[in-house]
Structure 1
Amino acid sequence: MNSLAASPAPVHRSSGLRPRKSPVLTIILWMLLAYFMLPLCWLAVNATKSNVDLFGTFGLAFAPSFALFDNIGQLFAFQGGIYLRWFANTILYAVVGAGGAALIAAMGGYALAKFDFHGRKAVLAIVLGATAVPGTALAVPTYMLFTQWGLINTELAVIIPALVSPFGLFLMLVYAQDAVPDSMIEAARIDGAGEARIFWTIALPLMAPGFVTVLLFQLVATWNNYFLPLIVLNQSDKFPLTVGLSLWNKLANAGGVNLAQPLYPLVITGSLLAVLPLLVAFVFLQKYWQSGIAAGGVKE
């Protein structure tokens, strides 16, 4: 009797812990995956085709000849290598614009979350209202303002608007409220740390996952920005990739079949190369998202 009483009770695993499968949800996810991946697959496949194979083979099938490296060579040599200049311009606009926007959003979000000052509610209302305004609606007023300032056809005409991210500011505000404990800030103040040092050494590292999120959002938005650079830039050597490739595509469509075909492989190959930096950025910065999710899942 004592041995039976001392024996541990059997542990029954709950069937509720097993993953639940939903065929409908699985089908929807596969459809979404196909919707997003098929254009990229089409781009990758057709970038390997020559001018003749591009129009003579099925879009998602490889051609007998592999012409990717020939297309890249022609792309870099076309019009004196203007594509490389467009690529460098895009990197400049995206890195400076996205990096500056993420930093400004982090500083503003931290200030709104941790400081109480006159006009704070008004600033919050303005930020929330600005998130509802599309960027294209501000393109023409921005053009008129930059015309008065003499910034038209300069790099600043593209970089300055990219520094403003109302959504990023609101996101960092929400993130800073929970990610940065008030007790840690008070302890740093008691130790004699200034507000700038507290932000750079304590708050910003704790806000890293939110910072990376805003950085990626702004990086994609600036990298794919088309309308604003189109109206504020009029010299081709200052174009980003979106405007430059669109110009080549228009030239191809306007030149007829015989004149248009040689440009299409360049547009397709240039578009494929333009996507690669964003993929690299997402892969490289993914670990910061994962660390933020893991940290948020631990409750004391």
Structure 2
Amino acid sequence: MLEFLKDYAVYLVPILSSYLTYLFLRRKSTLEKYEEQAKESLHDSCGPLLFSLNRILNKTSKIDMEFAMEEFLKKYSDDPSPLIKTKNRNIIDSYNNVERHYYIYTSCKNDNTYQKLLEQLLVLKMEIQNEFDIEHKVVNNGYKWFQLAARQENYWIKSLIHFYRGFSQTVIFFTYVDLFLFYLFIVDNHTEEKFLKPFQPYFISFTVGILVTFIVVISINFSIHETEGKFSPTSKIFSILIRDSWAQKFRFFRRFKVGDTKVNNENKARKIFVRHYRDMN
């Protein structure tokens, strides 16, 4: 096995290096494309949408709110609509719900239609806020590192911060490499030849070193960056099987139908309406 590696190392190393470089460049290209799309959506869609909704919800009377909402719908219903630039289909669907409830309210003005309209408007605001936060984080990726370095007056501390950022990215990259090698050793362990067995001590040492360094780096990075973990266990299978009528009658089924995030936003919208908007004149 060792003789085989010695003979073919001159061919295997360039091939492996080229493949890893290809994966790295492809990932970088995909991230750059995503960042550009997020930047466009943030500046031309989600950002203006969020500020427009805040202006509506900050009104202190129904008349002012109705007028602001009319201007809002007129602006975002024009062709072409700025909503086209958003990548989140849920936002478009929520906007359509707001528009539909607005026309229901204008044709039959009462407390019930007003509440439904405000709840849908608040749901839309929450969904846009979530999308805005994600896109803002993507577009401003690395900002906190530069902000942290800019606060330092000492040149050497600034250099150390920039060096550490590059070091942390290198450690994360080698962690992925270690996972790939781990997979190769598992596969090799189930073969009769066990070609990689002579390298297991070196691999174990490499894995331990990478794991310890990775834990330290991730701990430092988490202390610098805010983390916003959002997870919804909603299954698409349940969404297909559960009927709309069941979801409307039973909140339990509605969570499986539309997702925890949607239901939580609706509940929050209902509470905010009761607290701030129900008694508005």
> What's the TM-score once normalised by structure 1's chain length?
0.27
Higher helix share: 2
The structure whose RCO (Cα within 8 Å, separation 6+) is larger is 1
> What's the TM-score once normalised by structure 2's chain length?
0.28
